[in-house]
Structure 1
Amino acid sequence: MTKRARYLTHPEVAIDPTIPTPEWGLSQAGLARTERLARAQPWPNTTRIVASAERKAIETAACLAAAWQCPMEVRPEVHENDRSATGFLPPCAFEAAADRFFAAPHESFCGWETAEAAQVRILGEALEYVWHHLDGDVLFVGHGAVGTLLYCALAGLPIDRRYDQPQGGGNWFSFEIDSRQVSHHWRSIEEACGAQSEPEVTFGEAVNA
């Protein structure tokens, strides 16, 4: 049986400019979407869930782990790109900063971790983990930016925001553990809940989804 790793981004969060973004939790909408995924249990071969240490990722992973009776592990180094140097940015300013982050991956935007550095970190963490836990499928629960960087690395694509997840979070992609081959581009929680099996697409379809 082909063993897979899946990368799921946390869904919607309760934005609070007064606290650091790693401490933001899920909003009611985000929690409802997570609970729907937990009830559907679309990936029954999942034997381990790995979460970022950020609160929103932990809340997402803990809900799934409890429902699926699956071990959960927190790994701090799978966190989102470090942008603590600027703190909270209003939506328009944040989007412009994110564009710059992806467009100039070797440069730091106002002290942010560079995209290249974040990609090396998330790829190394993901591959090290799956190769040491080959007893079944693995679900990583993390974040949009580093998730996109991981996708680009595995798919052999340049760092580019056009491969970013759709707005809102709560999206996932999968890859085969042995071959490291990406199976498909981002899919939503809702698509996972309605799917009877893992979607399979060609590489061309994946990168243009």
Structure 2
Amino acid sequence: MRALYLSHPQISMDANVPVPLWPLSAEGLDRAERFAARGVVPPGAMIFSSRERKALDLAEVLAASTGTVVLSDHLMGENDRSSTGFLPPALFELAADQFFAEPHSSYQGWERAIDAQARIVETVRTALASVPPGTPAVFCGHGGVGTLLKCFVAGVPIDRREDQGRRGGRGGGNGFVFELAERQVLLDWTPLEELPPDWFTAPAIAEARVLT
């Protein structure tokens, strides 16, 4: 079953607010609304989401345009980084590098990449089992666990080179198309603005961004 995984676009960061409560920024919300207006997510699609505010913001915009509801699950959330709390961007990038480089180890108490991958894969598998045949499935989530999911589907080792910032556009707001049961990534991380409207039905998808 073909599905679309979306990472949330730009967010409003606040060191005094828990990371899972950060909302989309004005820019991120505008991107989400413009994406919804393009009709890439068709009416009747099942929309699954992490329960983190930024992912829910994206999911709710899409649900409003498709006339469906959001099915949220905390197990679709980003890797647990609560042990360190907010990290300035430069330090966060160094921590993320280590998170991907050493998937069997924990960075200062963070959820291990290997554990976060097992969690997101099983959660997505369970969600897809509830989707009726012929119904588009869309997941609204995060760049980190999205990359871990993509690595599993593609059958490649956990590696930050598969992250959205390396494969798609920077700043978040990317998507990839996949078939979990067949272990195929049909379209690699692609900015929201470039995702094809026929992703669910097209027999072939933009070769320029197919995972290699």
TM-score, normalising length: structure 2: 0.90
1:179 alignment partner, one of 179, 182, 204: 182
- 1:116 Cα deviation after fit: 0.1
CA distance in 1, matches of 2:17, 2:81: 14
1:200 alignment partner, one of 198, 201, 205: 205
Are the counterparts in 2 of residues 46 and 138 from structure 1 also a CA contact under 8 Å? no
1:7-31 CA-partner distances (Å, limit 9, x unpaired): 0000000010111100000000000
Are the counterparts in 2 of residues 47 and 71 from structure 1 also a CA contact under 8 Å? no
CA distance in 1, matches of 2:162, 2:92: 18
Aligned residues between the structures: 203
Q: What is aligned with 1:148?
A: 147
2:106 alignment partner, one of 97, 105, 108: 108
- 1:176 Cα deviation after fit: 2.6
Are the counterparts in 2 of residues 50 and 141 from structure 1 also a CA contact under 8 Å? yes
CA distance in 2, matches of 1:45, 1:178: 24
2:60 alignment partner, one of 34, 43, 62: 62
Matches within 5 A, 1:131-170: 131-135=129-133, 136-166=135-165, 167-170=170-173
- 1:179 Cα deviation after fit: 2.2
RMSD (Å), alpha carbons: 1.7
Gaps spanning 5+ residues in structure 1: where? none
Q: Report the residue type matching 1:105 in the other structure.
A: P
Gaps spanning 5+ residues in structure 2: where? none
The share of aligned pairs that are identical, in percent, is: 45
Q: What is aligned with 2:78?
A: 80
TM-score, normalising length: structure 1: 0.92
Q: What is aligned with 1:126?
A: 124
CA distance in 2, matches of 1:94, 1:205: 27
1:35-74 CA-partner distances (Å, limit 9, x unpaired): 0011111132652100101000111100110111122111
Question: In the superposition, relative to structure 1, how do residues 62 and 144 fare at CA in structure 2: closer, same or farther (>3 Å)?
Answer: same
- 1:184 Cα deviation after fit: 1.5
